[in-house]
Amino acid sequence: MRDHFEVRDGDAAGRIGRLSVPRADVTVETPALMPVVNPNIRTISPGRIESAFGAEILITNSYIVHSTDDLRERALEEGLHDLLGFDGAIVTDSGSFQLAEYGDIDVTTREILEFQRDIGADVGTPVDVPTPPDVSRERAERELATTERALSDAESVDTGEMLVNAPVQGSTYPELREAAGRNAYATDLDVFPVGAVVPLMNSYRYADMIDIVAGAKRGLGRDAPVHLFGAGHPMMFALAVAAGCDLFDSAAYAIYARDDRYLTVRGTEHLEDLAYLPCSCAVCTAHDPDDLRACPDEERERLLAEHNLHVSFAEIRRVKQAIRSGNLLELVESRARSHPAMLDGYRALLDHAEQLEREDPASKGSFFYLSGESARRPEVHRHHERVTRLDPGGTVLLTEGGMPSGDVYDAAWRVVPPFGPFPRALSETYPLTGEVPARTDRHAREAAATGVARLVEANPETSFVLAHDDWPASALSRVPDRVETELVHSGR
Amino acid sequence: MRDHFEVRDGDAAGRIGRLSVPRADVTVETPALMPVVNPNIRTISPGRIESAFGAEILITNSYIVHSTDDLRERALEEGLHDLLGFDGAIVTDSGSFQLAEYGDIDVTTREILEFQRDIGADVGTPVDVPTPPDVSRERAERELATTERALSDAESVDTGEMLVNAPVQGSTYPELREAAGRNAYATDLDVFPVGAVVPLMNSYRYADMIDIVAGAKRGLGRDAPVHLFGAGHPMMFALAVAAGCDLFDSAAYAIYARDDRYLTVRGTEHLEDLAYLPCSCAVCTAHDPDDLRACPDEERERLLAEHNLHVSFAEIRRVKQAIRSGNLLELVESRARSHPAMLDGYRALLDHAEQLEREDPASKGSFFYLSGESARRPEVHRHHERVTRLDPGGTVLLTEGGMPSGDVYDAAWRVVPPFGPFPRALSETYPLTGEVPARTDRHAREAAATGVARLVEANPETSFVLAHDDWPASALSRVPDRVETELVHSGR
Ligand SMILES: [Mg+2]
Ligand SMILES: [Mg+2]
Ligand SMILES: [Zn+2]
Ligand SMILES: [Zn+2]
């Protein structure tokens, strides 16, 4: 039991949590965005990131501090909080990225963790191996073994009150990620970064990202705070949170700004392509694109970085509110329409509907049917499970609203796509209170037919008549043969 | 030819236009949002709406001014611009709303237009009859005749430089809306409000709203600026613009604020339900929901109204940028996931794909396939038309990527869902440069099969072989029998 992380509220596999960071004496509410602060370059000062944007936690690279003489001396003398001018929690990365990029670094896990402890980091990181995507399974396993030795080394370091990251690697092998998650969770380390996803993000492989996160989550306990390391684009926060990620880090806000790139929840724009600033933040309300283009470089970079942070923090608030309102998957539905690769990511998430269903609360705000994908949501699976435990008895009419001619029934149940059949007694329960479009679709009717099939198969003694409003063959073919079906317009 | 409205850029039936308002000596860029200013209540002053939010045009009710003694005197003396403190264009409504609500008003079209002229309105409005939805056809026709007499009366008034609205009514009868649009367009009046849609908005009947707008648009010329009268929720701006609306008016920003309601592009929230402020505006960055709840009523109302305006104007900028980037329908895809009724609205819009296609530019940014609905976009229809004008000749392989065994072909064309077949020479043209998800769906493959069928039917002398990557029966059944089909994995 990890008593420094408490899950307060959930939706799909997403949750609102409280990460206690004892060394900083702060509690960080998750999902949280950690702006990356380069100790050498300050586009926006950490103090302003705290006061104007409400950041409770940031991340910086201890390897850069360690390998820069004057930074190292000052950090050891003043401590990281004074060096950066930030009162919240400070996470330090270890140099693993540099290891992956340059093949070699000159610190061990023990050395860097002791250094992180000595400069006052609140969360430290061992030297793991960020294995890239698509390598051979052999290499992924070999490097994972090295990462796992680093975790074991980290456990033996006296880190005091500092929390310690336990990175989960395994390249693009979900089952290795699961094993890595299980191993990391078994250590006494504290926070669980899913590593080496940056190359996937850069090539828009959101479906692969989801499969990896789902793998890692299967290995980790529910009380493990999960950091999607290197993921900082607001377009994918909702999706990644729905898959169970709690922490994000954004270097993008500053790096993109340097390059005149402008973040939105629907993708990235280049300032040169903008005729309007499609955002409600203070920067975008007070300027137009020509104003920004006319600014001196440094001022423009700062303004774009501020916009990028505003958009990113607002999306985190939006995601948290969606969890509280119980409509996180509705937000994901919207974000899935940002890019075809985001749709792939959402479709991949729905492949894990049963895994999500185990964490998803049984009752939430209101289910909205928003696309063919909605028919595959965990709530629909759960309802189909639920109907197998019900027995209407006798001769039962299942109807979309119309009444067939003749016959007397022992019970009449409503059928609503995508859920399928349910007794009146359940009609005021989630998700059956949900809203569906008047213009329904095949996916919803096919899912409803699956619900009918589950009910019928679970009740071999009961007779069923289905009054449907013009279901397509692809739906009717799912209905067991022994069900009498009749097309009766429901007058909807 | 209406030379006071110039269409500069377009996407679907949406456009960026310039409405010249000679009396105010301003040019308003459309799509534009006109905040409604109640001459008696100023939640936010018109001057601030202009300076802080960039409003170029607002709307106020001349009937209220006319029927309030001191307002009437001051308006006649100082003029509306000084009375309100606003330099942009001022539109005046006529009291038709009051007519509809209370059954009687004490001004005629001539009187109210002369009054509007005399107080310095820039766009005036006759007294039309806003027929509600779902009335009998007889009533709709009778009231439309009254509206048309009002337009005719308006033409005979000396309105000077003032532009005049020509409302388009017809209840929920699209063909009456079309006739009304044709009649209005034939007058010498200037701006075309589609009226009486508020009851549809209030009951989330976005599909009916789209059918009505599509009807009105069929009657109006392309150079007619269209105002969706009473529509001010930012959730539906993108959809309504894609259907061809140019002007919106928002009373919601203020009315909702009075009621502690908080606008978002995904719907309306109640302040009491918010744990976070899901927005990047200055109000939502500087406050949290508890701060707002603790404010005195008047201050809270003002802050919520400012937030509501920020969100609304940002969405208008987002819509305009989407038109410039050629991805307005991608924005609509996202907004369609706000509510099942918005999905109905988008599905209704796609029912008019051929009407949209006539205005949609042939080449735009990049087509994104974002849902099963994307398969019905106008660009897909256009490509299917285009292939009927192509003749590959001889024996032709149509392939998703795989090569069937044996055989030699005179030509090999790519097949990409949802478009269908195309020759290499077109592969760098819009929309074939579009991005599609790796996880494709039935809708895309069925649309591709339709494209194959159109090509095959247009070329009875040519032999075709189709190498498809596991198309479902619902797609293969659309492929003409004489096409030899083979399942060849494309290795995608
Ligand atoms: Mg410890
Ligand atoms: Mg005139
Ligand atoms: Zn901004
Ligand atoms: Zn706001």
B240-283 residue pLDDT tens: 999 999 999 999 999 999 999 999 999 999 999 999 999 999 99
Q: Residue B302: how many CB atoms within 10 A of its CB? A: 19
Q: Could you tell me which residues come within 8 angstroms of residue B394 by beta carbon, excluding any fewer than 6 positions away?
A: B409, B410, B411, B462, B463
Confidence at residue B492, expressed as pLDDT on a 0 to 100 scale: 57
Residues from chain B that touch A366, judged by Cβ atoms under 8 A, are none
User: Of chain B residues 341-380, which have a CB less than 8 A from chain A?
Assistant: 341, 343-344, 347-348, 368-373
CA dihedral B118, B121, B127, B128 (to 10 degrees): 160
Token couple for A34: 């950690």
SS (H, E, C) chain A: CCCCEEEEEEECCEEEEEEEECCCCEEEEECEEEEEEECCECCCCHHHHHHHHCCCEEEEEHHHHHCCHHHHHHHHHHCHHHHHCCCCEEEEECCHHHHHHHCCCCCCHHHHHHHHHHCCCCEECCCCCCCCCCCCHHHHHHHHHHHHHHHHHHHCCCCCCCEEECCECCCCCHHHHHHHHHHHHHCCCCEEEECCCHHHHHCCCHHHHHHHHHHHHHHCCCCCCEEECCCCCHHHHHHHHHCCCCEEEECHHHHHHHCCEEEECCEEEEHHHCCCCCCCCHHHHHCCHHHHHHCCHHHHHHHHHHHHHHHHHHHHHHHHHHHHHCCHHHHHHHHCCCCHHHHHHHHHHHHCHHHHHCCCCCCCCCCECCCHHHHHCHHHHHHHHHHCCCCCCCEEEEECCCCCCCCCCCEEEEEECCCEEECHHHCCCCCCCCECCCCCCHHHHHHHHHHHHHHHHHCCCCEEEEEECCCCHHHHCCCCCCCEEEECCCCC
pLDDT (tens, 9 = 90+) of chain A, 492 residues, equals 578 999 999 999 999 999 999 999 999 999 999 999 998 888 899 999 999 999 999 999 999 999 999 999 999 999 999 999 999 999 999 987 777 777 777 889 999 999 999 999 999 999 999 999 999 999 999 999 999 999 999 999 999 999 999 999 999 999 999 999 999 999 999 999 999 999 999 999 999 999 999 999 999 999 999 999 999 999 999 999 999 999 999 999 999 999 999 999 999 999 999 999 999 999 999 999 999 999 999 999 999 999 999 999 999 999 999 999 999 999 999 999 999 999 999 999 999 999 999 988 888 888 999 999 999 999 999 999 999 999 998 999 999 988 887 678 999 999 999 999 999 999 999 999 999 999 999 999 999 999 999 999 999 999 999 999 999 999 999 999 999 999 998 765
State yes or no: B279 annotated in a binding site. Answer: yes
| Closest among B76, B74, B70, B46 to B60, alpha carbons compared | B46
State the distance from the centre of ligand 4 to the C-alpha of A235, rounded, in angstroms.
19
Ligand nearest to the CA of residue B263, numbered in listed order: 4
Which amino acid, one-letter code, is at A477? Answer: S
Nearest ligand (C-alpha, residue B159)? 2
Inform me whether the C-beta atom of residue A321 falls under 8 Å from chain B C-beta atoms.
yes
Interface contact B437-A334, CB threshold 8 A: no
Chain mean position to CA B267: 17
CA distance B90 to chain A (A): 22
Which of A324, A337, A347 is the closest to B334 by Cβ? A337
Question: What is the radius of gyration, based on Cα positions, of chain A?
Answer: 26
The rounded distance, in Å, linking the Cα atoms of B484 and B465 is 5
Q: For chain B, give the mean pLDDT.
A: 95
> Are residues A277 and B441, on separate chains, in Cβ contact within 8 Å?
no
CA B161 / ligand 2 centre spacing (Å)? 6
Best to test chain B binding among A280, A304, A440 (most B CBs inside 10 Å) = A280
pLDDT of the residue at A345 = 98
List, in order, residues 6 or more apart from B162 with CB less than 8 Å away: B23, B113, B116, B117, B121, B122, B123, B124
DSSP string, B392-428: --SEEEEESS---SS---SEEEEEETTTEEE-GGGTT
Active-site option among A11, A93, A260, A360: A93
Minimal C-alpha gap between A374 and chain B (Å) = 10
pLDDT score at A492 = 57
Predicted confidence (pLDDT) at residue B406 exceeds the cutoff of 80? no
Q: Which two tokens stand for residue B136?
A: 């009998």
Cβ neighbours of A335 in B, within 8 Å: 334
Shortest CB distance from A311 goes to which of B280, B334, B370? B280
Query: How many Cα neighbours within 13 Å face the side chain of A56?
Result: 16
| Minimal-distance CA residue of chain A relative to B319 | A278
Residues of chain A neighbouring B279 (CB-CB closer than 8 A): 280, 314, 317-318
Supply the pLDDT for residue B259: 97
- The answer to whether the Cβ–Cβ distance between B324 and A438 falls below 8 Å is no
> In this predicted structure, what is the pLDDT of residue A403?
83
Break chain B into its structural domains and give their ranges: 5-357, 372-487
Query: B56, B270, B280: best mutation site toward chain A, by most A Cβ within 10 Å?
Result: B280
Q: ipTM above 0.90?
A: yes
**Residue B285 forms beta bridges with which residues?**
none
CA dist., res. B273 & res. A23, Å (int) = 34
Q: Which of B41-45, B339-343, B354-358 has the lowest mean pLDDT?
A: B41-45
* Ligand 2 centroid to residue B63 C-alpha, Å: 20
For residue A318, give the amino acid letter.
R
* Distance of alpha carbon A278 from alpha carbon A260, whole angstroms: 15
Q: Using the beta-carbon criterion (under 8 Å), do A279 and B276 form an inter-chain contact? A: no
Q: For B77-120, write each residue's pLDDT tens digit.
A: 999 999 999 999 999 999 877 777 777 778 899 999 999 999 99
The topology under which CATH files domain B5-357 is TIM Barrel (3.20.20)
Q: How far apart are the CA of A98 and the nearest CA of chain B, in angstroms?
A: 32
Ligand 3 centre distance from Cα of residue B484 (Å): 54
3 state DSSP class of B222: coil
Q: Answer yes or no: do B435 and A280 touch at CB < 8 A.
A: no
Contact B324 A52 (CB under 8 A): no
Look at A285 and B53 and tell me if their CB atoms are within 8 Å.
yes
- For the stretch B120-148, pLDDT in tens is 999 999 999 999 999 999 999 999 999 99
